[in-house]
Amino acid sequence: MLDHGAPPRTPQAAPAPAGLGARLMRRKPVDLLVAEGGQGEGGSLRRSLGLWQLTMISIGATLGTGIFVVLGEAVPKAGPAVTLSFVIAGLTALFSALSYAELAGTIPVAGSSYSYAYATMGELLAWVCGWCLVLEYGVSVAAVAVGWGEYLNELLDGTIGVTIPAALSAPPGDGGIFNLPALIVVLLAMVFLLGGAKESARANTIMVAVKIAALILFCVIGFMGFKSGNYEDFMPLGMAGVSAAGATLFFSYIGFDAASTAGEEAKNPQRDLPRAIMLSLIIVTALYVLVAAVAVGARRWTHFTDSEATLTAIMKDVTGQPFWGTVLAAGAVIAIASVVLTVLYGQTRVLFAMSRDGLVPKVFAKVHPKTGAPRANTIIVSLFCGILAAAIPLGQLADATSIGTLFAFALVNIAVIVLRRTRPDMKRTFRVPLSPVLPIIGFALCVWMMGSLSAITWIVFGVWMAVGLVFYFSYGMRRSRLAAPAAPAVAEN
């Protein structure tokens, strides 16, 4: 939906606020956010990504662990009705995706929900949102990388008959000492990212195509073993089981917002970002439902386990041959690597935006003049995530990413409502229908799902937030660019 409003006002820097409350609530003008797009320390990000690449970034960040790993955990909760669980989870994600689409088209910058919060709700909430994104992206990279080793062993066993010993391929605390494959996949993603956004997007597109082909191959072969009798008791655990599985599967949709972190490297962000977000969610949901329907038809729901290689096992059962399971394992290796690549990309771009605003050290905003990529940022983040995945038992910290993600989603829904009231004149290439009703529903669903998480997860999240607030009050609040009493105005583009 198009909305041709008045041209944006020239941003003017506000005078330095006097009180603590005013300092915490200072907002960064939307026009200033947009005008600074691409600018970094020593160079600029390059606008090289079109609609196709942006869509593949979102699919790459979303489609992977959800269907290759979480399916085995969700089916025992819902039975054959797990297909409905995927639809429910997709609809829940849709409410937040609509809000992301409007804001991504209106404020096409690298910071995603952090920048949206900065423009609408003030610096403190923006910091909290950015700190949640650091948790979401950073620990997600580590958590996804940990699962890569199991499929890699499946592939190695099926091709050359050799596997990496558990001490070097399993996560610490689960029989392993140092997860070498987890470190390797993060470092490989780092190499691609250092080449620049266009080069890493090209690699991601190839990997996304391979994993979609692998899932379609699973559906074709799995359908050969399809038994309608497996659907006779469609909802054995009732609607409660369907809802419980839906809550688990919701986190399979985390990542659709990755395209919004590419706002400063998109060729036509106002047009393409909303389309990429919505298109990726539709494609991912369709694939999830199709694969789940075939999987349950090929194997009795009571025979599912929480093994991370569920789809590979089904392929072996249907064909009676290990070859096809090995092929799918190869697809899973590529799929999970794609998730690592795109989520790591999102993490670096969020820190880039926060650094440019002065809230984290300047090193994260330095751009290499040849590649147009934040090189130091990428290396620091990659090494941190790689070591975290390889050597640290993630435990409840990984679960805390769920709260961080939901908190960011909740703020985005509120940001849409606030920006509609404060800047109704802005041009919006996409508008959330039935606003503010749908954003309020999206906010309520996020809060409800946060409330369903365990107490220990909330405690871990609280500790993380406390550390973040200490850093903000001791560093970010004082170094913020908005703290300057006479920051120069930015000319209208």
Beta bridge partners of 366: 41
- Give the span between the Cα atoms of 364 and 355, in whole angstroms: 6
* Beta-carbon contacts of residue 32 (< 8 Å; ≥ 6 apart): 11, 13, 490
Type of residue numbered 197? A
Residue that the structure tokens 């999970």 belong to: 336
Task: Give the pLDDT score at 492.
Answer: 35
Question: What are the tokens at 418?
Answer: 């606030």
Residue 283 has pLDDT above 60, yes or no: yes
Confidence band for 84, pLDDT divided at 50, 70 and 90: very high
Task: Give the pLDDT score at 468.
Answer: 94
- Give the span between the Cα atoms of 128 and 373, in whole angstroms: 25
* Beta-carbon contacts of residue 430 (< 8 Å; ≥ 6 apart): 1, 101, 102, 105, 274
Residue that the structure tokens 């990496």 belong to: 164
How does DSSP assign 382-451, residue by residue? HHHHHHHHHHS--THHHHHHHHHHHHHHHHHHHHHHHHHHH-TTS-BSS--TTTTHHHHHHHHHHHHHHH
Task: Give the pLDDT score at 187.
Answer: 95
pLDDT digit string, tens, across residues 347-403:
999 999 999 999 999 999 999 888 888 999 999 999 999 998 888 876 656 666 778
* Beta-carbon contacts of residue 350 (< 8 Å; ≥ 6 apart): 110, 111, 112, 114, 130, 133, 134, 137, 261
Q: Choose among 62, 63, 70, 65: nearest CA to 307.
A: 70
Task: Give the pLDDT score at 308.
Answer: 54
- Give the span between the Cα atoms of 62 and 93, in whole angstroms: 12
pLDDT digit string, tens, across residues 168-227:
887 777 777 888 998 999 999 999 999 988 889 999 999 999 989 989 999 999 998 889
Task: Give the pLDDT score at 309.
Answer: 63
Question: What are the tokens at 181?
Answer: 């494959």
- Give the span between the Cα atoms of 42 and 369, in whole angstroms: 7
Confidence band for 65, pLDDT divided at 50, 70 and 90: low
Tell me if residue 41 falls in helix, strand or coil.
Answer: strand
**How many CA atoms, within 13 angstroms, populate the side-chain half-sphere of residue 50?**
3
Stated pTM of the model: 0.85
Q: What is the DSSP letter of 45?
A: -
pLDDT digit string, tens, across residues 284-332:
999 999 999 999 999 888 888 655 567 878 888 888 888 887 888 888 8
Residue that the structure tokens 């949901």 belong to: 285
Residue that the structure tokens 């309020």 belong to: 440
